Structure 1
Amino acid sequence: MPVWIPITIAATFLQNVRSLLQKKLRDRLSVWGSTAARFIFAAPLAILVALGLWTVTATELAAPGPDFLGLLVVGGLAQVLATGFMIHLFSFRNFAVGTAFTKTEALQTALIGLVILGETLSLPALAAIMAGLVGILLISLPAGPDGARFRFDQRIVYGLLSGGLFGVSAVCFRGASLSLGDGPAIVRASVTLACVLVFQSLAIAAFLKLREPGELSRVFGAWKITGLVGLVGMAASLCWFTAMAMVNAALVRAVGQVEIVFTIATSYFFFKETISAREFAGLAILTASIVALILLA
């Protein structure tokens, strides 16, 4: 099994833990305050990890150029917005469904990767991603009180926006990492991650200072939870960045859809939310698509 697959699975598990913590933060902080915790507390840790890996491995990296900086800024802003939209989704229905809407990102990432990096996928891989999307839609779009199953509403809008922006960030971060040369993937990933988190932390801190006075103080006041969000989030991001430095970002995001398994388990065991037969059917289709992608890899 290619090493990027277990790294991706680790990333999904850690990301689900981070999302769980961020949902709890919504009782104490605003949407953007909860979002800020992911970046502000993760940045110092990411810098230490990057410096440590760079020093230990004595890796020579290409000097960051305009491409690196441009991709860093676009990807960093896209990820901040995607995270905010994802947290906002938590207020609509239940934890599993809110997160699942963002998982259209695998297909969107494939399209964005083609546009930005010119990377293509084989037809079997694309078919597996499409099957996974069908599974996610079965999980994500429950019937309403009047029996309408696929009503287009704010949840879908925010989910599609979040998934698309996560796709933009994934492709940009892969491109930024590739621009640093041929060093070990984890070193390129850690340096890219540290630079991205510093930029994101400064950007969202400035936003909170201007638009939500006092919220930044509340973020630091809740440091026991926000600090844990930063730690888990940094570990998850390092896994994502490392996997995407190794292979097409669309494949990484597609295999990363295994997160919905952790999400459903979290929804059931922590929030006592029921899972319907149709959602289990969607889960089976999604699992089959992920297995197919692993076999293709």
Structure 2
Amino acid sequence: MPSAESGSTSLPCFDKSIWLLSKRRMEIWIPITIAAAFLQNLRSALQKKLRSSLSTWGATAARFVYAAPLALALLGGLLLTTGAKAPPLNLTFLLSGMAGGLAQILATGMLIHLFSHKNFTVATAFTKTEPIQTALFGIVLLGDHVSLAVALAILISLVGVILISIPADAEGRRNFLDRNALIGIAAGGLFGLSAVAYRGASLSLADGSVFLRATITLAFVTSFQAVAILAFLRLREPGETLRLLASWRSAAWVGLVGMLGSLAWFTAFTLQNAALVRALGQVEVFFMIGASLFVFRERVKAREIVGVLLVAAGIVGLVLWSA
């Protein structure tokens, strides 16, 4: 009987699916994306706690202001220890990095705003329309391709996310698609735009390893974001910068976790289509449910469990069918 490696069609369908899943798991972008999703969820939880002592934009700024020095130090250490040379920056890199950076700042601010109006699971779930929007941005801006099977897997996950995010009470269901829901969807679109922009920036660099290009992109973007949001705070909330600095014990953790999560995202974007990366990032829903249960002591309903199973099915399909 021919081996699995020969690609024989005589391999039973179920066994072939298991073999394909095992093969896909060996692709490095998959564990990197799962790590990024975990770190993103942890950073969101830390920012929600930080919101009690800072304004919406102060808590948003913590992610970038405290991440930028760490990203620059990481880049310097990488260049020093490996002897590699940083590739020259180009106009596409600069424009894509700045566009993605601004989109991410706005999306993060919107998400933190939602934390004040909906529970952690619902607030985050509304942004999970992001993979669909990312796919559209990728097709239009980068010429990326998404197969019908992958699109189906993304839609299955999206249905699961919607089930998770529907409020349990009647009044909540009546107001489900309110202004805050639209803000969440808009945030998802901006996160999707930033993902595609970061992929475009990293791919525009002519030389260097995947990790070096991702680190350069991270260092540039976070530095730009830190400068931009500090300037914004100075104009809009002059005293908030001092409160942000005074909250360094909590805010520094947001910066560290955010920097590590962004590094993982940027590396995955350099390796793979941003829509596939963000779709696999739906695994964050599992971490999100865990945060609701064990950190914020929020109840999880049976319907939400069904939603989690659909998200899981979509992720399995994505891993099996992604090219």
Q: Same fold (TM over 0.5)?
A: yes
Distance in 2 (alpha carbons) for counterparts of 1:170 and 1:114: 13
Aligned equivalent of 1:272, options 290, 293, 297: 297
Contact 2:195/2:274, CA 8 A, preserved across alignment? yes
Q: CA deviation at 1:56?
A: 2.9
Q: CA deviation at 1:62?
A: 3.6
Q: CA deviation at 1:97?
A: 1.2
In structure 1, the residue matched to 2:55 is 30
Distance in 2 (alpha carbons) for counterparts of 1:142 and 1:282: 13
Aligned equivalent of 1:227, options 252, 258, 264: 252
In structure 2, the residue matched to 1:80 is 105
Q: Structure 1 pair 146/200, CA: closer, same or farther in 2 (3 Å)?
A: closer
Which runs of 5 or more residues in structure 2 are unaligned? 1-25
Distance in 2 (alpha carbons) for counterparts of 1:171 and 1:189: 13
**What is the letter of the counterpart of residue 263 of structure 2?**
L
Q: TM-score, normalised by structure 1?
A: 0.97
**What is the letter of the counterpart of residue 98 of structure 1?**
A
In structure 1, the residue matched to 2:235 is 210
Contact 2:39/2:258, CA 8 A, preserved across alignment? yes
Aligned equivalent of 2:89, options 41, 64, 67: 64
Contact 1:141/1:150, CA 8 A, preserved across alignment? no
The residue correspondences of 1:1-297 to structure 2 (distance < 5 A) are: 1-146=26-171, 148=173, 151-297=176-322
Count of aligned pairs between the two proteins: 297
Deviates more, 1:287-296 or 1:140-149: 140-149
Contact 1:59/1:184, CA 8 A, preserved across alignment? no
Distance in 2 (alpha carbons) for counterparts of 1:265 and 1:149: 26
Distance in 2 (alpha carbons) for counterparts of 1:5 and 1:260: 16
Contact 1:35/1:84, CA 8 A, preserved across alignment? yes
Q: Deviations over 1:194-245 (max 9, x none)?
A: 0001100000000000100100000000000001110111001000000111
Q: Structure 1 pair 188/211, CA: closer, same or farther in 2 (3 Å)?
A: same
Give the secondary-structure state (helix, strand or coil) at the position aligned to 2:299. Answer: coil
Distance in 1 (alpha carbons) for counterparts of 2:273 and 2:44: 24
**What is the letter of the counterpart of residue 213 of structure 1?**
P
Alignment RMSD, CA only?
1.4
Contact 1:22/1:87, CA 8 A, preserved across alignment? yes
Deviates more, 1:90-99 or 1:249-258: 90-99
Distance in 2 (alpha carbons) for counterparts of 1:55 and 1:292: 41
**What is the letter of the counterpart of residue 258 of structure 2?**
G
Largest Rg, 1 or 2: 2
Q: CA deviation at 1:250?
A: 0.6
The percentage of counterpart residues that share the same residue type is 55
Give the secondary-structure state (helix, strand or coil) at the position aligned to 1:252. Answer: helix
Q: Structure 1 pair 17/146, CA: closer, same or farther in 2 (3 Å)?
A: closer
Distance in 1 (alpha carbons) for counterparts of 2:172 and 2:266: 41
In structure 1, the residue matched to 2:6 is none
**What is the letter of the counterpart of residue 237 of structure 1?**
S
